[in-house]
Amino acid sequence: MVTVVGVAYRGGIPLEDIEVDFEVEPVEGPGSLGFGVREKVTLKGNISEGDRVRLQRASRYCPVGQALTKGSMVIEDEVQWRSGEITALSAAPANLPVLEGAVPVIQPGTVHGSYLLDTKEYDDDGVMQHEGEAKVYITTRNLTHTSRWTVMAGHSSAGLIPPPFPSTHAGWAASTVATLSRLLPLGEEQDVRELQVEVGLNMSGGRELSQGSAAEGRIVHRNAVRRVIVPGNPRSVPIETVQAALGRDPITLAYTEGGILLDEQVVVG
Amino acid sequence: MAQNNAPPVSLETPRSIVARPVGNETVLTLIGSGDHSRGPWPFVTGISGLNADMAGPPAQYLSVAAWAA
């Protein structure tokens, strides 16, 4: 939302409000369990068809959308064992071991984002300085009950909520931990709580690059270093095992293979 | 289960994200801002269990929520 709001502002498009809805569903891929999303963006205001198309392009090419659907992330992986050894991962060989565990099933659910209009910030000359904040409701369903959470993200001067792009990678880091927790065959002497995943981001370019590339429909490749710290040593937890587990992580698969966008609508409502 | 000798979750470098399991299938993730006037921002995510309560949304939902924002 904040990218679309920024593109609309700089393009003189009279966007008054915006909402985003995702339906999330589990999707079974070759040898892995992933997820797919159906997206609906609702634009409010006196939006012409030409402007709707421009904002649809901005929505498709926002930094997070690029990461999850267009393979924009350039990932460098490192593995460090608690014994101290560290190594960079190269491309995965074809004969990685088959791991017995299963990644967590992704429950169906919905994500609804609403834009907080009064959080836009302007300078004394009336020029937008920060696009503002969004409130996002998450609802998931399992066999017995429904669960709900609220997440906030955006761009504001107060620093109380995170920007969307790092938040996406927080989900990636958490997903990596969850996947490794399930798939690494750890021995009795190894504690899963010794797992740690660190992600370092190259945030150069900032808002101008993000909104400019979104407006133009241009992919910008962004670098991320993911360091996976695992229990044990290279003999007890072989690098091929770690690599095989990473290759089944749902967010990693989205970053590297895309394909999670099952349907997309951008409408004026 | 072996004794937990892992160091506490911490942000060692600016602009980094650190994720660690914190029990059962729950993960604590911290986003560092690289700027002491902003953040850091914590997230708790839980893993789907067929009948289990969850401490937080599945991690993938956090990424989709960020996409929505």
> How large is the ipTM?
0.95
Are the C-beta atoms of A135 and A154 separated by less than 8 Å?
no
pLDDT band for B25, please (50, 70, 90 cuts).
confident
pLDDT of res. A204: 67
Chain B within 8 Å of A75 (Cβ-Cβ)?
no
- Do A194 and B16 count as a contact with CB atoms less than 8 A apart? no
pLDDT band for B16, please (50, 70, 90 cuts).
confident
Chain B's closest residue to A163, CA to CA, is: B66
Chain B within 8 Å of A65 (Cβ-Cβ)?
yes
Chain A within 8 Å of B23 (Cβ-Cβ)?
yes
Paired with A180 in beta bridges are none
- The mean pLDDT of A182-197, rounded to a whole number, is 90
Q: How far, in Å, CA of A176 to CA of A171, rounded?
A: 8
Q: Name the residue among B28, B5, B19 with its Cα closest to residue A191.
A: B5
Ranges A10-24, A125-139, A199-213, B2-16: which has the least confidence: B2-16
Q: Which residues of A touch B19 (CB under 8 A)?
A: 170, 173-174, 176-177, 196-199
Question: At residue A20, does pLDDT exceed 50?
Answer: yes
How is residue A172 written in tokens? 């990636």
Residue in B37, B48, B64 closest to A107 by CB: B48
Q: How far, in Å, CA of A106 to CA of A247, rounded?
A: 17
Chain B within 8 Å of A138 (Cβ-Cβ)?
yes
Three-class SS of residue A211?
helix
Mean pLDDT estimate for chain A: 92
Three-class SS of residue A167?
helix
Question: At residue A216, does pLDDT exceed 90?
Answer: yes
pLDDT of res. B6: 43
Question: Helix %, strand %, coil % for chain A, to 5?
Answer: 30, 35, 35
Question: At residue A16, does pLDDT exceed 80?
Answer: yes
- Indicate yes or no: pTM above 0.90: yes
